[in-house]
Amino acid sequence: MADVSSEQENRVADSFEEILNMLPFIKEASQALREILLANLVMISEIPSPTFEEDRRVEFIQNRFVEAGLNNASADEMGNALGILPGTTGEQNILLVAHVDTVHPHSLDHTITLRPRSATGPGVGDNALGVAVVVTLPILLELLDLELQSNLVLMGASRSLGRGDLEGLRFFLSNTEIPISVGIGVEGFPLGRLSHDSIGMYRGEVVCSVPEEYDWTRFGATGAIVTINEVINRIQEIRLPRRPRSTIVLGSIMGGQAYNTIATNAVLRFEIRTENEQIGEEIFHQMEAIVSDVSSQTGADINLDVFARRRPGGINYRHPMVRATRRIMSALDIQPRKSPSTSELSAFIGHDIPAITIGITYGEHHNTPEEEIMIEPIFTGLAQLTGVLLAIDRGFCSGN
């Protein structure tokens, strides 16, 4: 078993180069946790955890935090799993968070197929692996004989996806008495992800229903699908600026029951994404006007339901934490992938907390029942995460 001596650990405080030099040893040492990590991964993955129904998975995480001897291992009122690994000085608090919910319903078979090189199954990468890394990290730090000076707050966040709208993390940050200095979001994949800013976002649905008393003889009378199509045509006519970059993503449309029946209900799912908060507001108001106009013309009931919003913001690529993370990635031969995020970063931004989101391994078939992740790169991802924690802990990520 590889080990990092206390003498090496003490030298880390003096030089960022020492952290870079430690990374190959950390990567090698983490291999000793393969069975523990994969066992956690499979058990977490096979507990269904759709948004708002994460209780069983949170209970599992709590038990792992208790077994690791973390302080205050518990769940808060919003169903977040929490545990604290005390630092030697406790002068700052680092929050390491992975969301515990998935897009997959209870009715789906959550059995995970584990092969020598990969793991396959619903939610295995998004975000069972991220959660497995969070619960395994205290064991890794103990294995490496590394003690952080900072308190490390470990969190499995509930109610993050879709209509959850980051409710778990937002609640924690708004109500905790622990002053959080820095945040790190952990996603299962892709390795190389480096999100340090968040784009503005409105996520919602246009819901169209035709009332029972609808007058099918009126001029222009149509079913719900044709009406939604008219809304789409009008949305596509909205002029979007090239700078700041803005777009409207029409994600899915659902409606109708049969070939020979006029549809009385239809739903359009969308996201407005923009780098500028004011432009996002303007686009949203244009969509409101479109919905109101089409509703009045057709007589159909059309509602615009926005259930998730994100503020643009974050730290820039020159921030010491971003520069340090890029150097760590480079030392591990990881190609950074700069990707503005709509994930946990937005909650940190709302509280003016510098934060990044990183990935742990490579994968594919995202958000399908056949989601797959590669096993071997996980240990590179663990070395990356440990290096970033050390860099933050030793003060190499402070400043603007």
Q: What is the pLDDT of residues 67-90, one digit of tens each?
A: 999 999 999 999 999 999 999 999
DSSP output for 343-366: STHHHHHHTT--EEEEE-S-EEST
Tens of pLDDT, residues 205-226:
999 998 766 555 554 457 899 9
Higher pLDDT, 62 or 345: 62
Q: What is the pLDDT of residue 217?
A: 52
The pLDDT-based confidence of 3 (bands split at 50, 70, 90) is very low
Confidence band of 155 (pLDDT split at 50, 70, 90): very high
pLDDT, position 343: 75
Give the residue among 177, 150, 190 at the shortest CA–CA distance from 358. Answer: 190
CA 65, CA 59: separation in Å to the nearest integer? 10
DSSP track, 58-91: HHHHHHHHHHTT-EEEEE-TT--EEEEE--SS--
Average pLDDT over residues 296-306: 91
- Residues forming a β-bridge with 102: 50
Beta bridge partners of 119: 114, 373
In the predicted model, what is the mean pLDDT of residues 25-30?
Answer: 97
Q: What is the mean pLDDT of residues 129-145?
A: 97
How far apart are the C-alpha atoms of 219 and 340, rounded to whole Å?
Answer: 46
The pLDDT value recorded for residue 213 is: 62
- Residue 219: its pLDDT value, please? 45
Q: Tell me the C-alpha distance between 228 and 208, whole Å.
A: 7
**Domains assigned to the chain:** 6-198+312-393 (3.40.630.10), 200-310 (3.30.70.360)
pLDDT higher than 80, residue 346: yes
Mean pLDDT, all residues of the chain: 92
- What pLDDT, on the 0 to 100 scale, is given for residue 218? 53
Provide the strand spans (E) within the chain. Answer: 71-75, 81-85, 93-99, 113-114, 118-120, 151-157, 182-187, 193-195, 197-198, 200-209, 246-255, 265-274, 301-310, 313-314, 337-338, 355-359, 363-364, 372-374
User: pLDDT over 90 for what percent of the chain?
Assistant: 80
> What's the pLDDT band for 7 if we cut at 50, 70, 90?
very low
Question: What local confidence, expressed as pLDDT, does residue 261 receive?
Answer: 80
Q: What confidence score (pLDDT) does residue 223 get?
A: 84
pLDDT score recorded for residue 11? 42
166 and 158 in contact (C-beta within 8 Å)?
no
pTM beyond 0.95? no
User: Mean pLDDT lowest for which of 129-133, 252-256, 296-300?
Assistant: 296-300
Vertex 217: Cα angle to 212 and 219 (nearest 5): 115
Please, which pLDDT band fits residue 17 given cuts at 50, 70 and 90?
Answer: very high
